[in-house]
Amino acid sequence: MPIDLERALGAELPGREFSWTPTDVQLYHLGLGAGGRPTDPAELRYLDDRAPQVLPTFATVAPTLGETEPPRVSFPGIEIDLAKVVHGHQEVVVHKPIPATGKATSTGRIAEIWDKGSSAVVVQEQTVTGSDGELLWTARSSIFAKGEGGFGGERGPSTRAQLPERDADLELVVPTLPQQALLYRLCGDRNPLHSDPAFAAGAGFPAPILHGLCTYGVVCKALTDAVAEADASAVAGFRARFAGVLYPGETLRIRAWRSDGEVVAAVTVDERDGAPVLHDVALRLR
Nearest-Å Rg of the Cα atoms of the chain is: 18
CA–CA dist 15, 9 (Å, integer)? 17
Strand 78-80 versus strand 85-94 pairing type? unpaired
What torsion do the CA atoms of 90, 91, 94, 99 make, to the nearest 10 degrees?
10
129 SS3 class: strand
43 alpha carbon, distance to own chain's centre: 21
In whole angstroms, what is the distance from residue 126 CA to residue 12 CA? 10
Q: How crowded is residue 174: how many other Cβ atoms within 10 Å of its Cβ?
A: 20
3-state SS, residue 91: strand
Count Cβ atoms below 10 Å from residue 164 Cβ, excluding itself.
Answer: 11
Q: 166, 173, 163, 170: which is closest to 264 by C-alpha? A: 163
194 is catalytic: yes
Residue 22 near residue 28, CB atoms below 8 Å: no
The residue annotated as part of the active site, out of 24, 115, 189, 225, is 189
Contact between residue 143 and residue 88 where contact means Cβ atoms under 8 Å apart: yes
Active-site residue flag, 189: yes
Q: Are 73 and 3 in contact (CB under 8 A)?
A: no
Among the listed residues 24, 29, 115, 194, the single catalytic one is 194
Residues with a catalytic annotation lie at: 189, 194
